[in-house]
């Protein structure tokens, strides 16, 4: 299996606080990885490092064969030439959507295609409309984000990320700002993408969903991977994982 | 009466010149100052902060006098009153606009910058296409306030002898032993500001298509 993500010995501190301690994992092409764990366990920071919103302190990361940073004498050394190239291969969907409020839905999905990939207007629009159709939002193309529900906004932001044809899509708690009904909307979309063999990594608190779509799973706590593998949902080996999983059973 | 109105219209032209020249220079300069105050380079931040403190902490009337007389005491030369007046207004208003811009820039959610970064927009692109349009919408009300204040502040230019509207009115008033020219000037200022506030209302409505 070809590797989409190969992360080795990642470490990251904010000031004195170590948020990620020596984490390694891989994601195969076409695989869906779910990342679970309590708040403050370093899950989001890890996604933000891979999507270049934060800098790694130490470790080695290869994305689709290109190295973003490499550990040299205990420090992550970035390959500047690959930063942009890798940035185009990775997409990120935020918890708070972060749509551009002053752009129509259509323009939100078109803007980066035009400005970054330099696609022509017709091509970008056709692509955007196809994605909006896929998200069931064809009729909302001319509307503005504030006119949409949270679930619809999140679907637009997924379309916006997909418009750049990323090789891997990251989701940072994509449903945490949504009520249960809207959460289902989004989970449905992610599941459909999984069926198309889109490579994805999802930070989520939706255990049943994570269990259903994941090819692999990691449980993080205190900046380390406590347990790995989909068996952690049904048959956790570690006491810490067991307690975390059990806290969802009682819901 | 007709000649009085003509004189006052001439004064109004001078007031409007002060008004537009101040805006022309201080609106963009304010952005530079705001950036200076928000930079992570400390010396620049300190200098910018001191500059803003002085501009906001001392009367504009005093600043006018300073910019008119300082060149003479420092360099032994002076420039004409009108230039001194524009310099003082621009330097003063840039500080106020900078604070308005800063509040606008800081009110933009961090997520907007992060989404732009992840989508691959360059920094200038993010600023001009994502951040700036949203900042302009946010600061419209405070900007309107400041511009209206500027219309009235142009009256201070008379301190260094610039023959703007209010000075013309005052001169006429003492010549004719009548307060009427002053009241007429009041109407002139009111009309100018009425136009300014209508224009800002239109701009705010135009930007009302999103939240």
CA distances from B115 to A82, A187, B111, B130 (A): 20, 21, 6, 10
| pLDDT given at position B79 | 80
| pLDDT given at position B140 | 95
CATH number of the structural domain spanning residue B27 = 1.10.3720.10
Other beta carbons less than 10 A from residue A79's beta carbon: 14
Q: How far apart are CA B159 and CA A155, in angstroms?
A: 61
Strand A32-36: give its sheet, edge to edge. A90-93, A168-172, A199-203, A32-36, A216-221, A224-228
CB contact under 8 A, B112 and A52: no
Domain A3-249 maps to which CATH number in 1.10.3720.10, 3.30.420.10, 3.40.50.300, 3.90.580.10?
Answer: 3.40.50.300
Asked whether the beta carbons of A218 and A238 are under 8 A apart, the reply is no
- Provide, as residue numbers in chain B, all residues whose Cβ is less than 8 Å from the Cβ of A97: 111
Q: How far apart are CA A224 and CA A20, in angstroms?
A: 6
ipTM of the complex: 0.93
Q: Which residues contact A189 (CB under 8 A, 6 or more apart)?
A: A135, A155, A158
CB contact under 8 A, B210 and A94: no
Asked whether the beta carbons of A110 and A133 are under 8 A apart, the reply is no
Asked whether the beta carbons of A40 and A14 are under 8 A apart, the reply is no
CB contact under 8 A, B112 and A96: no
CB contact under 8 A, A100 and B119: no
Nearest to A110 by CA among A156, A147, A152: A156
Nearest to B64 by CA among B84, B44, B34, B42: B84
Q: How far apart are CA B93 and CA B96, in angstroms?
A: 5
Q: How far apart are CA A194 and CA A214, in angstroms?
A: 9
Look at residue A142 and give its three-state secondary structure: coil
Asked whether the beta carbons of A200 and A189 are under 8 A apart, the reply is no
A160 touches chain B (CB under 8 A): yes
Q: How far apart are CA B126 and CA B120, in angstroms?
A: 9
- The length of chain A is 251
Test mutation, A55, A115, A124, chain B, max B CBs within 10 A: A115
In chain B, the residue whose alpha carbon lies closest to the alpha carbon of A49 is B118
Q: How far apart are CA B93 and CA B60, in angstroms?
A: 10
In angstroms, the separation between the Cα of residue A239 and the nearest Cα of chain B is 36
Asked whether the beta carbons of A172 and A93 are under 8 A apart, the reply is yes
DSSP 8-state secondary structure symbol assigned to residue A219: E
Q: If you write DSSP's letter for every residue of B117-169 in order, what string do you get? A: HHHT--HHHIIIIIIHHHHHHHHHHHHHHHHHHHHHHGGGGGGGT---HHHHH
CB contact under 8 A, A115 and B112: no
Per-residue pLDDT, averaged over B165-170, amounts to 94
Ranges of residues in chain A with a pLDDT under 70 are 1, 250-251
| pLDDT given at position A1 | 64
Q: What is the pLDDT of residues B68-120, one digit of tens each?
A: 998 888 887 778 899 999 999 999 999 999 999 999 999 999 999 999 999 99
Q: Which two tokens stand for residue A226?
A: 């406590």
Other beta carbons less than 10 A from residue B196's beta carbon: 16
Asked whether the beta carbons of A232 and A201 are under 8 A apart, the reply is no
A10 touches chain B (CB under 8 A): no
Q: What is the pLDDT of residues B42-61, one digit of tens each?
A: 999 999 999 999 999 999 99
Lowest mean pLDDT among A68-77, A242-251, B157-166, B195-204: A242-251
Domain ranges of chain A: 3-249
What is the phi/psi pair of residue A74, to 5°?
75, 15
Confidence of residue B211 (pLDDT cuts 50, 70, 90): confident
Q: Which two tokens stand for residue B101?
A: 């811009």
Asked whether the beta carbons of A163 and A112 are under 8 A apart, the reply is yes
DSSP 8-state secondary structure symbol assigned to residue A139: G
- Strands A17-28, A3-14: pairing kind: antiparallel
Of B119, B120, B210, the CB nearest to A102: B210
* Residues of chain B contacting A, Cβ within 8 Å: 109, 111-112, 114-115, 117-121, 125, 129-130, 133-134, 137, 209-211
Q: What is the pLDDT of residues B122-149, one digit of tens each?
A: 999 999 999 999 999 999 999 999 999 9
Element (H, E) at B34: helix B2-38
| pLDDT given at position B74 | 83
Q: How far apart are CA A149 and CA B167, in angstroms?
A: 58
Q: Which domain covers residue B95, as residue numbers?
A: 2-209
In angstroms, the separation between the Cα of residue B134 and the nearest Cα of chain A is 7
CB contact under 8 A, B114 and A53: yes
| pLDDT given at position A251 | 54
Asked whether the beta carbons of A205 and A171 are under 8 A apart, the reply is no
Nearest to A207 by CA among A225, A181, A187: A187
CB contact under 8 A, B210 and A87: no
CB contact under 8 A, A102 and B137: yes
Per-residue pLDDT, averaged over B18-29, amounts to 97
What mean pLDDT value characterizes chain B? 94
Asked whether the beta carbons of B117 and A53 are under 8 A apart, the reply is yes
**Based on C-alpha coordinates, what's the Rg of chain B?**
20
């Amino acid at each position: 299996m070809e590797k989409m993500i190969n992360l080795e010995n990642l470490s990251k501190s904010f000031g004195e606080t170590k948020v990620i301690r020596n984490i390694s994992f891989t994601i195969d092409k076409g695989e869906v990885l779910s990342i679970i764990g309590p708040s403050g366990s370093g899950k989001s920071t890890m996604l933000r490092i891979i999507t270049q919103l934060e800098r790694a302190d130490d470790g080695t990361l290869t994305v689709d064969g290109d190295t973003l940073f490499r550990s040299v004498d205990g420090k992550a050394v970035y390959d500047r030439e690959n930063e942009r190239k890798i940035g185009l291969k990775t997409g990120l969907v935020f918890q708070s959507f972060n749509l551009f409020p002053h752009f129509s839905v259509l323009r939100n999905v078109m803007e980066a295609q035009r400005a970054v990939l330099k696609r022509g207007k017709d091509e970008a629009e056709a692509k955007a409309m196809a994605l909006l159709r896929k998200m069931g939002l064809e009729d909302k193309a001319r509307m503005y984000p504030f006119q949409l529900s949270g679930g619809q906004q999140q679907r637009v932001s997924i379309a916006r990320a997909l418009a750049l044809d990323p090789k891997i899509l990251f989701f940072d708690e994509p449903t945490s700002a949504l009520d249960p009904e809207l959460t289902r909307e989004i989970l449905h979309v992610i599941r459909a993408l999984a069926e198309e063999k889109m490579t994805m990594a999802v930070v989520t608190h939706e255990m049943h969903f994570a269990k259903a779509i994941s090819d692999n799973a990691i449980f993080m706590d205190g900046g380390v991977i406590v347990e790995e593998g989909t068996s952690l949902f049904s048959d956790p080996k570690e006491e810490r994982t067991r307690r975390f999983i059990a806290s969802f059973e009682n819901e | 009466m007709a000649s009085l109105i003509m004189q006052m219209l001439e004064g109004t032209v001078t007031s409007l010149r002060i008004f537009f020249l101040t805006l022309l220079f201080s609106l963009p300069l304010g952005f530079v100052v705001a950036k200076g105050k928000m930079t992570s380079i400390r010396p620049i931040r300190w200098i910018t902060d001191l500059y803003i403190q002085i501009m906001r902490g001392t009367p504009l009337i005093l600043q006018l006098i300073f910019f008119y007389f300082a060149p003479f005491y420092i360099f032994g030369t002076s420039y004409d009153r009108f230039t001194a007046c524009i310099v003082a207004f621009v330097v003063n208003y840039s500080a106020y606009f900078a604070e308005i811009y800063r509040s606008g820039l800081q009110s933009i959610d961090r997520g907007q910058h992060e989404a732009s970064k992840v989508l691959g927009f360059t920094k200038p692109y993010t600023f001009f296409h994502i951040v700036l349009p949203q900042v302009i919408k946010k600061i419209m009300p405070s900007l309107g306030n400041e511009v209206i204040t500027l219309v009235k502040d142009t009256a201070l230019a008379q301190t260094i002898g610039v023959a703007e509207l209010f000075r013309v009115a005052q001169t006429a008033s003492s010549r004719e032993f009548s307060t009427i020219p002053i009241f007429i000037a009041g109407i002139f200022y009111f009309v100018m500001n009425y136009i300014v506030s209508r224009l800002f209302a239109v701009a705010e409505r135009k930007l009302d298509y999103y939240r």
